[in-house]
Amino acid sequence: MENKWKVILTKSDAEPWWFFEEWKRDIVEQWEFDNKKDALAKYMNEIVRLNNLLPNMMTKQYNSIAFWDPGEVVFCEACDDDLQMYHGIILFENDGPMEMNDNQDQLIKDLKSLVPKQI
């Protein structure tokens, strides 16, 4: 099986690393790639673009990053409260988020320079 990569943009009241049952409804755009190099380039470009548009960002494992503006909220009738809206970017390899490990030291270093805040 040949590997495939996707860069996925989401917009939701949940950070992009929470793959709740209907998370695919939150996808606003996605790009598919046959090679890792092109996927990583798109992923990095989208990180820079979103960082220029939105003042806050955070990541869990560098394969998914949440961006947000504290003023962008949506009212939740079920919980009777305002919820923060997140713009997410996710890097997929095949059917799931790309694993980030010690074998990718340079990639992790590059991502840490773009996304300093990790939870």
Poorest-confidence range of 13-17, 68-72, 107-111?
A: 107-111
Q: What angle do CA 23, 28, 30 make, to 5 degrees?
A: 95
d(C-alpha 68, C-alpha 91), whole Å: 18
- Burial of residue 86 (number of CB atoms within 10 Å: 0-12, 13-18, 19+): buried
Q: Which secondary structure element, helix H or strand E, spans residue 44, and what is its range?
A: helix 36-53
pLDDT digits 0-9 by tens, 67-79: 999 999 999 898 8
pLDDT for the residue numbered 68: 97
pTM of the model: 0.87
* pLDDT single digits (tens) 31-50: 999 999 999 999 999 999 99
